[in-house]
């Protein structure tokens, strides 16, 4: 089961990445690389499974 990740922008969730079934992270918005590394991310449709901020997303993305 995949998980969509989002950040809050003015009280609205904006999708930034998705983790596919195999664990691969696909970044939807390249601005994720310039955002504050400690900015909270939200797992929209599943559990976060250890991804709580932008830095966690980038680390997991770089593994692929």
pLDDT in tens, 4-62: 999 999 999 999 999 998 889 999 988 899 999 999 999 999 889 899 999 999 999 99
Query: What pLDDT does 35 receive?
Result: 92
Query: What pLDDT does 29 receive?
Result: 87
Contact (Cβ atoms closer than 8 angstroms) between residue 45 and residue 4: yes
Two tokens, residue 53: 């901020």
Query: What pLDDT does 63 receive?
Result: 87
Model confidence, pTM: 0.89
């Amino acid at each position: 089961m995949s998980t969509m990740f989002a950040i809050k922008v003015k009280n609205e969730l904006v999708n930034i990445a998705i983790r596919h079934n195999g664990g691969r992270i696909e970044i939807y918005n390249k601005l994720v690389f310039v955002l504050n590394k400690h900015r909270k991310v939200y797992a929209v449709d599943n559990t976060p499974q250890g991804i709580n901020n932008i830095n966690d997303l980038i680390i997991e993305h770089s593994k692929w």
